[in-house]
Amino acid sequence: MEESDLIAAARSARDRARAPYSLFKVGAALECDDGSVVSGCNIENASYGLTICAERVAVFKALSDGVTRFTRLAVVADTSELTTPCGACRQILWEFCGDIEVVLANLTGRVRRVRVGELLPDAFGDQSLKRKT
């Protein structure tokens, strides 16, 4: 899949965001290793703790459909500075996607590529739970 197609899928998902409080709409598109794409958008709730980010929506949708291998994630927001995943999303991405590429984009065409490991150095994962004997 072309990077531009993945960004377009994230941009389209952003249009479906439910952000009545912050007005900060974000879209994400997760590329699976079979070439399919699962999208997500942020969904806010008046009880802010129940709000969920676009990246987690995409990952959880994919996992609930039985998809477990991913290659890239695109994140699109309407900001001049590119929006990176929040800390909770970084942890979810590390846990379920590994060190995949994350393509950050905005509505003006600015793009940057990073890896999850760059966003979350010294990540906590399953290896962190192993006891030393």
Query: In the chain, what are the domains?
Result: 3-129 (3.40.140.10)
Of the residues 55, 81, 95, 118, only one is catalytic, namely: 55
Contact 53, 90 (CB under 8 A): no
If you average pLDDT over every residue of the chain, what do you get? 95
Residue 48 DSSP SS3: helix
Model confidence pLDDT, tens digit, residues 31-55: 999 999 999 999 999 999 999 999 9
Model confidence pLDDT, tens digit, residues 82-94: 999 999 999 999 9
In this prediction, residue 53 carries a pLDDT of 98
In this prediction, residue 90 carries a pLDDT of 97
Bridge partners, 52 (sequence order) = 43
Residue 55 structure tokens: 């990246």
In this prediction, residue 9 carries a pLDDT of 98
Model confidence pLDDT, tens digit, residues 62-83: 999 999 999 999 999 999 999 9
81 is catalytic: no
Spell out the alpha helix ranges (H) of the chain. 3-14, 54-64, 87-97, 116-119
Which residue in 40, 42, 39, 50 sits closest to 19, CA to CA? 42
d(CA 111, CA 53): 20
Contact 98, 72 (CB under 8 A): no
Q: What is the DSSP secondary-structure string of 65-81?
A: TT---EEEEEEEES-SS
Model confidence pLDDT, tens digit, residues 117-132: 999 988 888 777 787 7
